[in-house]
Structure 1
Amino acid sequence: MHSDSHPGDSTTVSARNFTALWLGAAFTNLADGVVKLTLPLLAVSMTDSPALVAAATLANTLPWLLFSLPAGALADRVDRRRLIMTMAAGRALVLAVLVGAIVLGSLPLAGLYAGALLLGTAEVFADTTRMAVVPMVVPRNRMESAFAKLTATETAANEFIGPSLGGLLAAAGLAVALGAGGVGYAGALLALAVMTGHYRSNGHPGPATKARGLLTDVREGIQYVWQAKILRTLLLVAGVASGCWAAWMAVIVVYAIAPGPMNLSRAEYGLLIGALGVGGVVGASAAPALTRSLGRRVVLAGSMASFAVLLAAPAITSSPRLVAVTTVLGGAGSGAWNVTYSSLRALVVPDQMMGRYSGVSRLTSWGSMPLGALIAGLTAELASVRAVFWGGALLCALVLAVTLRTVTSPEFRRVEARAITSHEPAPARPRRS
């Protein structure tokens, strides 16, 4: 595996462009946090079936499974900034339609699922592409700090401020909450418009080859990841953990909201979900320092251990305080993992493969989320909500064992060494690790 990424084009690497990208991500994730809390609440107001409630999360996350690969391939072909802006405008439009239907009292459950599916599809293309833009606006020697800043902001907005605000707005009305999400996407659109330069990959297909199909690009991306043994393994374990995370998210609303065992109000539920963001900000902000002092292997293994604790807690207790504490811990693990892994990936994947690699990464780490939500809904319906938490905790424990074996291997040490010492851009086709 080659170990360097393209260092960025001098016409796009600037503090202004990173700040605009950063602000766009902040607005987008703030809106995401509001919307993703509101969709299950809207489902709960329309049905008391755990499976049908979980289906809202399933519809919102299913696009990660369906479109991650083509989204990554498209990101390597088009202007990446324009693609992100198009997705922001699309999400604002979908929310406007949903708000109108709620106000008119004409939103069926199927309409909620359709809206969740469209919002999720736009998220796939926008988020996959954003990961490919970061190395284009940030100098190589500031990559880890840039990812820490971006991840902390995204986590705070998506998992703390957004859900907390969403819970308060939902108390005023679900249409109000969704409308606020639309305003957030509009703000992201304006922030991205400030960026200067062109954001097409330096290694995108030229005129003679541009007509080749997306399937060819997708196949090259899969081949690249498959040959990168360490990154491939980390992607797979992250995928399993993400599926367990989605299972938790899909049914925790049933477990938490009164008359569930935790007996929380809507606003209190928003604060519980916001606890993920509190931990995420702490974990993401501390990740660079932890990596320097403890090493990537310890940070990655510790992060995976926190996921097992997150899942196990509600299986053992319904105490809001104890569940909230472990939720903070799980969020911290997520933030630390995202920064540590993303910075490593940015240093070892070449620019012309960044979009496709990001697509494969999102497929494994996010594409497992609809599967987790589906399994969680069925398990809760046929057995119990607690059974979902127990199953997720056991899976995360198994994944932790695989992670420990991977990060202590000689191959992992070699990947880290290449990331530190390499300086020249790498071609798209990798050698075997």
Structure 2
Amino acid sequence: MTTTTDLAAPTAPAAELTRAALVLEDGSTFTGRAYGATGSTFGELVFSTGMTGYQETLTDPSYHRQIVVMTAPHVGNTGVNDDDPESARIWVSGYVVRDPARRVSNWRARRSLDEELAAQGVVGVSGLDTRALTRRLREEGVMRAGIFSGDALFETGPGGRTRERPVSDLVAEVRASPQMAGANLAPEVSTREVYVVEPSGEFAGRAPVATVVAVDLGIKAMTPRRLAERGVRVVVVPQSSSVEDVLAVFEGLPEGAARGVFFSNGPGDPDAAEHEVGLLRAVLDRGIPFFGICFGNQILGRALGYGTFKLGYGHRGINQPVLDRTTGKVEVTAHNHGFAVDAPVSDGSGGAAVSTAPHEGGRYGRVVVSHVGLNDQVVEGLTCLDLPAFSVQYHPEAAAGPHDAAYLFDRFVGLMTEPGVWPPRLAASGGSVPAGHEIEEEH
């Protein structure tokens, strides 16, 4: 059933400049007040369940071309500061909140969230029933939407009179906007230039523990920092890089020096990421240790020959429970993904399935789903048993928290510096151990 909030004709357009409408492709319409910039914007409408970290969410490139609905009812309390952005700009296409803070209350704040959205041209809407909106997305799935406010809500009618645009026209604009399925977006968010993040903290000024080429598919600023804190020199390269570009970074390193390749998070449909899949296969063919997160997990899945599929409404927020089968522990994790890898999760008796990677008759060997989402049993991580490669679907750097999964960066460092201990053994918990694998609890 379509839910429509009446868009009554204004008495005078100038008095209605703060009105805004959120229009979904199924014809549903919600009205509220303009928040941030006024105008029109389009994107895939998704919801985020995080109670905190809205500044990190807004500046995460993985949200490119998405309109984000915040399920937390009160947003903007801490304003915006200059320390927490995950990139140089806001990437969301639009922003939907229920009750924006009327004043900022944090000593680090430099301006309000409303001011920041307006300054960066991000069209938003407030005053909506975001609970009803989220329930609709959970029941019907994410869909395209548009936010219209200010002049974008009006048109010039017969006789030169200004009138409100018909809802049918707004819906038609939404339906004409691009879909997320098939979208190749990593090239739009990736760095154009190579840059380096040197070891930091106790490792500053010392020889790197390892050198990592991080392929930027929409990387967040905190990710290379997490590696640098562990003594790693991180060379961030554009999405368009070739395997020759990657190998050039390692030229001149001492023989036997630890090295690895990292694929970051990012937006878009992994089925459209042909270049990235080809690059990763070239890395795997050379036996270079690999770690991927989020979009990087989906690219590893595709490189190994597995399919990917679009989730109904995805996982977005900082409170998603995931089982790490290598430790037997449940982690609370940060997510932002609408696609997942289609790989065998269970062996049919409750244990973890070990499958042979389908690509080219299984030349990449055996693979196990090492991490599983506990809400819906979605693949949340892959571990190659015959290659030095692993990935997770979530964000272990989690600048806004939680930090349960930060150990994965240590695992990557260990893979590069002590490759002989790979692969990690699965823990004895919940029947999750594949047949033929020894069991040792990791402490």
Relative to the length of structure 2, the TM-score reads 0.26
Hey, which of these two has a bigger chunk of strand by percent?
2
Hey, which of these two has a bigger chunk of helix by percent?
1
Which structure would you say has the larger RCO, counting Cα contacts within 8 Å and 6 or more residues apart? Answer: 1
Which structure is larger by alpha-carbon Rg, 1 or 2? 2
Relative to the length of structure 1, the TM-score reads 0.26
